[in-house]
Amino acid sequence: MLSLGSGGARQLGQAAGMTQTEQTALVRRAMDLGVNFFDTSSDYGESEVILSRALKDVPRESYYLCTKWPPFVGRELAEDPQLLVNAVDNSLRRLGTDHVEIMMFHGPLSHHYAPLMERFYPTMERLREQGKFRFIGMSVQYGTEPTQAVGDLAVKRDPELWDVLMLKYGLLNQSLAKEVLPLALEHGVGIMNMAAVRVKLPDPDLLQQLMQEWRDKGYVERGDLPDSDPLGWLVHDDVTSVVSAGYKFAADHPAIGTVITGTSNMAHLEENAAALEKPYLPPDDTQRVKELFRNIVEYV
Ligand SMILES: NC(=O)c1ccc[n+]([C@@H]2O[C@H](COP(=O)([O-])OP(=O)(O)OC[C@H]3O[C@@H](n4cnc5c(N)ncnc54)[C@H](OP(=O)(O)O)[C@@H]3O)[C@@H](O)[C@H]2O)c1
């Protein structure tokens, strides 16, 4: 259920200047903890190469890879399908493999959706027929469209064309539970849950500020949550931190196939793996979290 991401703010430790030895140790520790699914992209710095080095000598059949291609030239949607062909070959070369499990369009917005499908989807299908990947997917762009509208379009217009979508669903981002996740489940579209705790849950100050904003906007009733450590009540028994609560909540929907953690910290990786051994909060806490936040449509 837990997978390891190589993007986000950490990019497998690239942002902090971790050495390849440290990056390899992180990836190998993830495998020891039962993680066998790695998410990457041609857009995550050197992540594909770092993963390839980290997984060298690990039997290829013992893990799964998802990579992505941002279909843009500058800020415009690309036009030439050959760019996709080249991008897939380049990703496979960097990853040191002849196939990945999932190939995704990385981060189109809703106004790109129709031209993207027309220009590039047939080429994706052709590349799949050639055995370069098994499943076709798309990820939403982090933060740009609060409603994650491109995911909405995908499950409403073409659910049969998408094997997998990468979306953000979490304790503070529940809006997809209304339509998108039920439709994905109905049509067998797998959901990879990205950025499920980023950025507010790991940062007590940001979280406190957000709750204050939500009170000021009337989203949360004054008195519903303590001013200080507003979600601290979630931490008890096997829920070791607010972040741990966030990953558990993020996993607790039948449409979610995996929750990707973007940590580059070994202790955090261990905590997150432990959190998903029981991928749900106590039912009363889940209910309270839903009542508090389920009608809020923001991207936080
Ligand atoms: N559009 C896209 O395609 C897209 C966008 C975003 C993400 N993604 C994918 O999804 C993956 C995960 O996303 P993400 O990295 O944004 O999200 P995330 O896993 O929700 O959050 C990562 C952040 O949480 C912190 N964190 C994690 N575990 C923690 C713990 N136990 N205690 C305290 N802090 C903790 C991390 O810091 P530490 O390193 O200090 O633990 C990091 O700052 C990415 O790596 C990428 O593969 C894809």
Banded pLDDT at 210 (limits 50, 70, 90): very high
Banded pLDDT at 259 (limits 50, 70, 90): very high
Q: What is the pLDDT of residue 229?
A: 96
Banded pLDDT at 273 (limits 50, 70, 90): very high
262 lines ligand 1 (CB under 6 A): yes
Render pLDDT for 60-113 as a digit per residue (tens, 0 to 9): 999 999 999 999 999 999 999 999 999 999 999 999 999 999 999 999 999 999
Q: Report the nearest-CA residue for atom 32 of ligand 1.
A: 268
272 lines ligand 1 (CB under 6 A): yes
Residue range 223-240: mean pLDDT, rounded? 96
Q: Report the nearest-CA residue for atom 26 of ligand 1.
A: 263
Residue 194 C-alpha to ligand 1 middle, in angstroms? 8
In the block, tokens 């051994």 appear at: 277
Residue 103 C-alpha to ligand 1 middle, in angstroms? 20
Residue 172 C-alpha to ligand 1 middle, in angstroms? 15
**Pocket mutation for ligand 1, best pick of 263, 265, 270, 276 (most atoms within 8 Å of C-beta):** 263
Asked if 225 and 159 count as a contact pair (C-beta separation under 8 A), the reply is no
Residue 7 C-alpha to ligand 1 middle, in angstroms? 8
Asked if 18 and 53 count as a contact pair (C-beta separation under 8 A), the reply is no
Q: What is the pLDDT of residue 81?
A: 98
Q: Report the nearest-CA residue for atom 29 of ligand 1.
A: 268
Asked if 94 and 66 count as a contact pair (C-beta separation under 8 A), the reply is no
258 lines ligand 1 (CB under 6 A): no
**Atom from ligand 1 closest to the CA of residue 196:** 20
Handedness of CA 210, 216, 221, 227 (dihedral sign): positive
Q: What is the pLDDT of residue 236?
A: 98
Is the pTM of the predicted complex or chain greater than 0.95?
yes
Render pLDDT for 109-150 as a digit per residue (tens, 0 to 9): 999 999 999 999 999 999 999 999 999 999 999 999 989 999
Q: Which of 229, 231, 248 is nearest to 239 (CA)?
A: 248
Q: What is the pLDDT of residue 294?
A: 94
- Please, what is the average pLDDT of the chain? 97
Q: What is the pLDDT of residue 228?
A: 94
- 131 backbone φψ class: left, alpha, beta (φ>0; ψ -120 to 50): left
Q: Report the nearest-CA residue for atom 18 of ligand 1.
A: 195
Handedness of CA 173, 178, 182, 184 (dihedral sign): negative
Residue 237: pLDDT above 90?
yes
Q: Letter for the amino acid at 108?
A: P
Tokens of 56: 């060298």
Kindly state the percentage of the chain with pLDDT values over 70: 100
Residue range 226-242: mean pLDDT, rounded? 97
Residue 157 C-alpha to ligand 1 middle, in angstroms? 30
Banded pLDDT at 21 (limits 50, 70, 90): very high
Q: Which domains does the chain have, with CATH numbers?
A: 2-293 (3.20.20.100)
Tokens of 146: 């609060």
Residue range 152-174: mean pLDDT, rounded? 98
Residue 4 C-alpha to ligand 1 middle, in angstroms? 9
| DSSP bridge pairs for 133 | 100
200 lines ligand 1 (CB under 6 A): no
Asked if 200 and 266 count as a contact pair (C-beta separation under 8 A), the reply is no
**Alpha-carbon span 17 to 283, nearest angstrom:** 41
- Torsion over CA of 197, 216, 294 and 40, rounded to 10 degrees? -20
Banded pLDDT at 299 (limits 50, 70, 90): confident
**Atom from ligand 1 closest to the CA of residue 140:** 1
Tokens of 227: 């001013």
19-33 burial, b for 16+ CB within 10 Å, e for fewer?
eeeebbebbeebbeb
**Atom from ligand 1 closest to the CA of residue 262:** 15
Residue 272 C-alpha to ligand 1 middle, in angstroms? 11
